[in-house]
Amino acid sequence: MRIEDIKIRKIFATNSKPTLEVEIKTKKGKVYSSVPFGTSKSKYEIVYKDFEEISEIFPRIKRYFFEDFRDIREVDRMLHSIDTSDNFKKIGGNLALGISLAFLKAFSLEEGVPVYKYLGGNTIPKPVCNVAGGWKGQSDIQEFLILPLHQDSFVKSIDEISDLYLKLGEIFSKKDPTFKFSKNLESAWVTSLPAEEILKILTNIKGENFVIGLDIAASSLWNGEKYVYKDKILSTMQQIEYVSSLIREFKLFYVEDPFHQDDFVSFSVLTKNSKCLIVGDDLYATNLRRLKSGLDISATNAVLVKPNQIGTVTDTIDFVKEAKKNRLKVVVSHRSGETDDNLLSHLAVGLDADYIKLGISGERVVKINEMIRIEEELS
Ligand code: PGA
Ligand code: ZN
C-alpha cells in the first residue's frame, strides 16, 4: 500500500492537555489516529515530546512514509530505522505511535475490513472497569476495579457494572461526608474513604458473578526504601503481607502493580503464593525485554498492554504473543489521558486479549460502545 498523504494536528485529550492526531489519506479514503497519555507513568515507557517539537520533527521524516509498504510490520521497521534508540527519544514515541496506529487503520481500510479483523483476532474480552479511586492523594490505592467472572456478553457485563457504579455513588454519598459525585481522570468516583471501607462496600454490592480488582500503582507509593501510605509506612516484606491480606480478606481476583517497577522478585513471591491475577503494568511497560526478565522468575501471571508505552503496533503484537505463549493473561488498557479514538477496542479483539481495562462513565464510553458494535458484528 502506498499512501497519498500523511499529516499531523494538535487535538485535545480527556485531561484537557494537547495531544497528537495523525491523518493518512489513501485512494480508499482518510483515517485518523490519536495518541493517549498516562499520568502515573512507568520510567520504562517511550519518550513523549510536546506538540511543538513534534511539528518540527515530522516534516523532516514525512518523506519516508510514501514507500510501498506491504504491512504494518514494514512501517514499524521504518520507524525503528529512523529512530534507533530503544525509547524513541529522537522522534518522540507519541509521533511513532500516531504514525503506526494510523497505518494500521489505513491497511484495514485498504483491505476493506475492520481493524480487529485485519489483526486476525475475534475474541470479545471481559471488561475490567475502574469504578472508584483517588485523585491528588485522596486515596492511597489508585484504582478500585470491578470485573465479571463469567461473561454471557460484553454488553450485559457493562450493563451490570454500570448499575454497580451508580449504586456505589449513592452509597459513597451516604458514607463519605466529603463525597460530591466528583470523578477522577478516568471518570471513576473520587472518595476519601479508606481502602478497606471501599472494599467492604464493593464486596456487599457486587453480586455473585463479579469480582474485585485493585491497581495499587505501587511505584507512586515507593520512596526508594519504603511504601508510604497516608496512615502507614511499609517495608517490602510488610507490603507483601499487606497485599496478601487484602487478597485473602476481600477475595481479590486482580491486583495490578502491587510493588514498584523494579521489584520483579516481590511480584514473583506474591504470584507464587496467591491464586489472584497479578498484573504487571509499570513493571513491564509493554516492553518485550522486560517481560522476558519477568518470565525468567514467573514474576506475574498477567500483563497490562498499553501501546503508548512502547510506540508501535508491531512491538505491541510481539509483547502480547510472548505473554500468550507463556500463558499469561492479557489485559489491553486505556490511559488516564484518553481521546475519542475507539481503536483500543479493535486492538483488544484483534489481539485476542482476555480483558480490556476501561473507565465506565463519561467520555470513557467511546471504547465501550465500539466494543458493543464489534460484539454484534461477531455474533
Ligand atoms: P496512567 O495510569 O494511564 O495514568 O499511567 C493508569 C494505570 O496505572 O493503569
Ligand atoms: Zn496501572
| Average confidence (pLDDT) over 97-113 | 98
CATH superfamily of 126-378: Enolase-like C-terminal domain (3.20.20.120)
Catalytic residue among 45, 186, 256, 338: 186
Catalytic residue among 41, 49, 117, 306: 306
Residue 352, pLDDT > 70, answer yes
Task: Tell me the whole-structure pTM to 2 decimals.
Answer: 0.98
Break the chain into its structural domains and give their ranges: 5-112, 126-378
Q: Which fold has domain 5-112?
A: Enolase-like; domain 1 (3.30.390)
29-34: strand order across its sheet: 5-12, 18-26, 29-34
The alpha carbon of 336 and the centre of ligand 1 are apart by a number of angstroms equal to 5
Strand, helix or coil at 40?
coil
Rounded Cα–Cα distance for residues 307 and 335 (Å):
10
8: β partners = 22
Residue 360, pLDDT > 80, answer yes
Rounded Cα–Cα distance for residues 329 and 3 (Å):
36
Per-residue model confidence as pLDDT tens digits over 217-269? 999 999 999 999 988 999 999 999 999 999 999 999 999 999 999 999 999 99
Which pLDDT value is given to residue 136? 64
pLDDT band at residue 139, thresholds of 50, 70 and 90? confident
More confident call, 40 vs 115: 115
Residue 135, pLDDT > 80, answer no
Of all protein residues, the one whose alpha carbon is nearest to atom 1 of ligand 1 is: 38
Reading the block at residue 23, the C-alpha cell is 491523518
109 alpha-carbon distance from chain centroid: 25
Ligand 1 pocket at CB < 6 A: 38-41, 215, 217, 281, 333, 335-336
Told to judge if 306 belongs to the known catalytic residues of this protein, a careful annotator would answer: yes
For the CA atoms of 313, 314, 319, 321, what is the dihedral angle to 10 degrees? Answer: 110
The alpha carbon of 234 and the centre of ligand 2 are apart by a number of angstroms equal to 20
Which of 367, 14, 48 has its CA nearest to residue 185?
Answer: 14
